[in-house]
Amino acid sequence: MANRPIAPHLQIWKWGPHMAASILHRITGDGMAFVGLGVLLWWLGAMAGGAETYATFQAAMGSPLGMIVLVGLSWAFFSHMMTGLRHFVLDIGAGYELDTNKMWSMLAPAIGILLTAAFWAVVLLK
């Protein structure tokens, strides 16, 4: 039997913001893929279906539940973009210092929230 290294167990790893940012990146990507694709296909189908079908889509997306979905999708987009930029910086070999990594892991989701709020402020106040 070969003397192979044993993978560390979950009890050994210490939870940190870098792990949360990485998991958030995956969750927001999946959310945009599934929910965003559904909304996009519904929107395209509504445009192809005519004025009445599009009015139904507008009413649904303009309802409180529809607005929650749209705000959630925009939050997922901006958070995914910020954690993606963090991953890009890590991929080029920078930002691995513990303090820097921790700071950017906490800032990425916060900046995503700020960008979402700014986006909706522009959309709703226009």
Q: Is 42 exposed, middle or buried (0-12, 13-18, 19+ CB in 10 A)?
A: middle
Q: Is 104 exposed, middle or buried (0-12, 13-18, 19+ CB in 10 A)?
A: buried
Q: Is 18 annotated as a binding residue?
A: no
Known binding-site residue numbers for heme = 80
Known binding-site residue numbers = 80
